[in-house]
Amino acid sequence: MSDDALKMSGQSFLLGSQHALAAVGGIIAAPLIIAMGMGLSASQTSYLISAALVISGLATVLQIVRVGPLGSGLLSLQGTSFAFVGPLVFLYHGLAENHSSDEALGILFGSALVCAGVMIVLTTFVKTLRQLITSNVSGLTLVLIGGSLMEMTALSLFDTYTGAAAPGSFLWVCGITLVTLLGLTLAPRLRMVAILVGLVFGTLAASFFGWVDAASLNVSSALFLPKLMPFGFGIDWTVVVILFPIFLVSATESIGDLTATNALSGHPYGDAAYWYRLRGGLMGDAMNSGLASIFGAFPNTTFSQNNGLIRLSGESRPTIGLYAAALLCLLGLMPILAEAIQLIPEPVISTVTFILFSLVAWAGLQVFKSNARSWRCGSIFIGGLIGGYWVADSVDTWTVLPALLIQVLAFPVSNGAFIGLLLEAILPGQTRAPNAR
């Protein structure tokens, strides 16, 4: 190998390591938050964290290295989607009333696999999909997701505070975590690792007060290997109906991420090659979510952090992403990492996640505002927002409805998404999205 090739390879490795570190905080946070919300065991949580890292690495490879129609061919990283946190926790508790913990997880993963299969088919009609899921609907749904999760996290923090033996220590730990996270988000070059560093500093602060017991680390094996259907397999059509709108909104987020990566990579927007890459990226997203379901990990999506790093470094070679994918897989194969992550105290996790979910809601508001130019847009947004919560709060009194439908309507996010789609279809004055021909 020539000196130039070695230099290029070394540069790609360093940049790939930065991409992996920028993504790893979000990748581990999502399954950890879901596991905590579900009340899963330590062994189940360890599996979900390790599987999320390994599957994210494999999914990134599939996204970058095109396999037939699958993949964008761009430097695009994959990771567990935060959009599914609330719906999955909500659905798990409903399933756990009549199923064991493993059975409930198996049903969630089986139902997500069905949704992923449908999305693979729908992505062939990407232009129609983009016209259907407008910025009004996707912005509304993201605000509902972020808002509902902020409410859940705030209640958890309040309950922990009121029951804390030392409220002063609790406030110090949460405050240090919050200041670290917010401080890093204000620094463009450090923003990509804000989640990871916030978790580390919060845990160090908790250690000072004796909250962390490293002696409790118990690694059962030296190597983690994902298993096929580790929690069994099942399908619940109520779960499918509730999850599917979230898959649609996640796809619209990916459209934005992939379009940004396409532009940062120096490719033109709107030509045949753009639509080819976009279709392949969305199909890769769906396939990767299906792959995640098969191996016991939650749905995947493109991560936007890497776009910030591409902008900062000016380098968009797909090889960089392959190094990042290899590092993610390597981290996932080490069980001690998943065990160590579980030492992070709940107040630290909740503080970080409250900020993350507020950013989800803020991102939704920005998506909506980007094209909100008429009373029609405001009607769709406000109607879906109010209608989603009103239906969820009132449905228990609608005893004439079938029990299955009541279950579906009890979740405000899917309600709001459906109402937004309906209003988008029936209100006069809809305009075509640019290049959606």
Q: Quote the pLDDT of residue 437.
A: 38
Instruction: Report whether pLDDT(431) > 60.
Output: no
Q: What are phi and psi of 276, to 5 degrees?
A: -65, -45
pTM, rounded to two decimals? 0.81
Instruction: Report whether pLDDT(63) > 90.
Output: yes
Least confident range of 135-149, 193-207, 397-411 = 397-411
Instruction: Report whether pLDDT(436) > 80.
Output: no
Q: Quote the pLDDT of residue 434.
A: 46
Query: pLDDT above 90 covers what percent of the chain?
Result: 31
Contact 378, 159 (CB under 8 A): no
**Token reading at 14:** 């360093």
**What is the full DSSP assignment across 259-273?**
HHHHHHTTPPSSSHH
Q: Which residue has the higher pLDDT, 99 or 18?
A: 99
d(CA 145, CA 136): 14
CA nearest to 105, candidates 41, 16, 167: 41
Measure CA 260 to chain center. Answer: 18
Nearest 5°: the CA angle 28, 120, 371 is 75
List, in sequence order, every residue forming a beta bridge with 80; answer none if it has no partner.
Answer: 300
**Token reading at 268:** 């033109």
Least confident range of 14-28, 205-219, 344-358 = 205-219
Looking at every residue in the chain, the average pLDDT score rounds to: 85
Would you place residue 128 in the very low, low, confident or very high pLDDT band (cuts 50, 70, 90)?
Answer: confident
Contact 229, 102 (CB under 8 A): no
User: What are the pLDDT digits (tens) for 168-179?
Assistant: 888 999 999 999
**Token reading at 323:** 């190094």
Least confident range of 6-20, 92-106, 280-294 = 6-20
d(CA 247, CA 300): 10
Mean pLDDT of 202-227: 80
